[in-house]
Amino acid sequence: MECQKIRNKLVDYIYKDLEKSSAEHVAKHLVICEDCLDVYSKISNVLLSANLNQEVYTDDFYSTRLMAKIENRKTTSSGMVFLNKIYQPALLAAMVVVGILIGVKISDKFPATNATATVNTKDMVLSQLANEYYVSNTRDEILENYYLTDKK
């Protein structure tokens, strides 16, 4: 239980934010307890290595300029949202209409492929009968057709 209290104070001890009596108590405990000393060395290595190259440059007017830019963006973008809600669907509809018109114009340039073939009436009657009585051309039906015709 004592170790947990000491470990909770280690960060403050490293940064020297403890009262003098608490700091002395932590120091005495670190001499006695090897586990807490190990935790102390690991925490101090991490914290001190993070602070080695940290030089903080503060610009006094940075936050003022940042807030002004944020406020300026809010005022200019609020009108744009309304326009986007109107113009964006209208632009999309116009693009669809233009695409359809271009497609129709392109298709008018190609000739229609309504090719008609002259078919013998006898062949036509045979094909109609075949389509009516033979649903599919399975192997059995092909053999049946072979034996039923006069071609031998």
Q: Residue ranges of the domains in the chain?
A: 2-50, 116-152
Full pLDDT tens readout for the chain, 152 residues: 688 888 888 888 888 888 999 999 999 989 999 999 999 998 888 877 776 555 666 677 888 888 888 888 765 555 566 667 778 888 899 999 999 999 888 887 776 665 555 556 666 666 666 666 655 555 556 666 666 676 54
What are 63's two structure tokens?
Answer: 């936050």
Distances (CA, A) of 61 to 20, 32, 54, 58, 67: 38, 50, 21, 9, 10
First to last CA, the chain: 107
- Determine the Cα–Cα distance for residues 9 and 25; give it in Å rounded to an integer: 10
Tens of pLDDT, residue by residue over 76-92, are: 555 566 667 778 888 89
- Phi/psi of residue 119, nearest 5 degrees: -120, 140
